Structure 1
Amino acid sequence: MKAMIFSAGKGERMRPLTLHTPKPLLVAGGKPLIVWHLERLAAAGIDEVVINTAWLGDQFAPALGDGARWGLRLHFIDEGAVPLETGGGILNALPILGDAPFLVINGDVWTDMEVARLPRTPAGDAHLVLVDNPAQHPRGDFILHDDGHVSDDGDSARLTYAGIGVYRPAILDGWRAVIGDTTGAGATPPQFSLVPLLRHAMAQGRVTGQHHRGRWTDVGTPERLAQLDAQLQSPHG
């Protein structure tokens, strides 16, 4: 199985820390956020990882090398000055990701979840990791039903998408019809979010999920990065 780590964002909410360092390379617990991911991916038996870059993207290869230190093969994809967003980023990386299901993880989250607990082959088009709603996102994103399916409709309590999921390339089938004439969709390469495609797949019952009740942090501000660093540096980890 291959994986992709989203690393192209500008990290505007993390400034001034991200004026000179891309967010996934910011350090928590003595190592860059992205290194935590690489270690967990390697431990789960994943051997190839795509890292898409844009803002300060030239820093990733010198910092991470070719991935050999973790037993990985890293592929860096420079998206240029304007990031392609999540959907466009995956579409642009498909020639490397291939035809089999692949794992996607946001480069700016931290979690203790074991990647090996994720299915290698989702039942539908996607399998998402959901977490309890953090203070900064109290309304959540999606509903996880008792049968394991995930939906966007209904009055049930919602959970927050953790930025971790297993996807089939088929999630992008017919993407133009789903996305419509949105800004960036007509660019070369296209720029668009994965969220409308996820909602489209949910409406067809083709998205499953699991609830991770362990530790998870969306490292979206300098304050949350400092809190995470303090937690990881403490004697209890």
Structure 2
Amino acid sequence: MKALILAAGLGERMRPLTDTTPKPLLAAGGKPLIAWHLERLAAAGVREVVINTSWLAKRFPKALGDGSRWHLRIRYSHEGDTPLETGGGMWHALPLLGNTPFIAVNGDIWTDFDFTRLPQRPAGDAHLVLVDNPPHHARGDFALADDGDVLDSGEGRLTFAGIGVYRASLFDDWRRTIGDAPGADADPPRFKLAPLLRAAMAEGQVTGEHHRGHWTDVGTPQRLAELDAALGGSDRESAVAFPTDPAP
């Protein structure tokens, strides 16, 4: 199973830290955020990882190389100077990911989620990991039904963790779904993933699971500092007290 790490964002909310360093390469607990993902993906049996890049793209191969230190093969999907958004970036990387289901994870999160829990062959077009809503995203994103389906609306909305398994078929009708949204007619196209997921949800093609462990959206310098302090204060991840953990 291959994996895609989404790392092409501009990191505007993290400036000035991201003036010279892409956000996924910022350090927490003594290593780049993206390195935590590479370790967990390798431990889960992934052997090939695609990293999409844009802002300060040359920093990634300098920092990560070919992936051999993690017993991985890293390939890079460069998007040019303008990031292609989540949907466009994933679509652009499909030739490197192939036709079998693949894992995708946001490069700017930290989590103790065990990637071996993910289905290698999701029932539909996508399988999403959801978490309790953090304070900065109290309304959540999607609802998780008792039967495991993910819904665009409903009671008990949860936050999308930025982790999922996807089939290339999710993009079969992307142009009709995206319509005339800004960037859709660019070459390569630039569009968000959420409209495709919502269209697939309407067809019952998205399943999910609720991760109740540690998860942090490293979206601000303060959250990065809190995460770094938490990870640096313990030799065991399970003992870390995370300031931004969802309430039990």
| TM-score, normalization by structure 2 | 0.94
Instruction: State the shift of 1:218 in Å.
Output: 0.1
Quote the residue 1:80 is aligned against.
Answer: 80
Matched, 1:209 2:171: no
Quote the residue 2:192 is aligned against.
Answer: 193
Alignment of 1:87-98 (within 5 A): 87-98=87-98
Structure 1 runs (4+) deviating above 3 angstroms are none
Matched, 1:47 2:47: yes
Matched, 1:231 2:243: no
Quote the residue 1:67 is aligned against.
Answer: 67
SS of residue matched to 1:82: coil
Provide the rounded CA distance (Å) in 2 between the counterparts of 1:188 and 1:84. Answer: 10
Instruction: State the shift of 1:78 in Å.
Output: 1.3
Provide the rounded CA distance (Å) in 1 between the counterparts of 2:152 and 2:77. Answer: 31
Q: Does 84-93 or 127-136 show the bigger shift?
A: 84-93
SS of residue matched to 1:60: helix
SS of residue matched to 1:185: coil
Provide the rounded CA distance (Å) in 1 between the counterparts of 2:157 and 2:228. Answer: 28
Provide the rounded CA distance (Å) in 1 between the counterparts of 2:153 and 2:73. Answer: 40
% identical aligned pairs? 67
Give the number of aligned pairs: 236
Quote the residue 1:219 is aligned against.
Answer: 218
Deviations 1:109-155 (A, max 9, x none): 0000110011111110000000000000000000001100000123x
Provide the rounded CA distance (Å) in 1 between the counterparts of 2:111 and 2:162. Answer: 10
Quote the residue 1:167 is aligned against.
Answer: 166
SS of residue matched to 1:66: coil
Alignment of 1:133-152 (within 5 A): 133-152=133-152
Structure 1 gap segments, 5+ residues each: none
Provide the rounded CA distance (Å) in 2 between the counterparts of 1:79 and 1:61. Answer: 15
Quote the residue 2:246 is aligned against.
Answer: none
Provide the rounded CA distance (Å) in 2 between the counterparts of 1:195 and 1:141. Answer: 10
| TM-score, normalization by structure 1 | 0.99
- Which AA in structure 2 matches 1:165? G
Structure 2 gap segments, 5+ residues each: 241-248
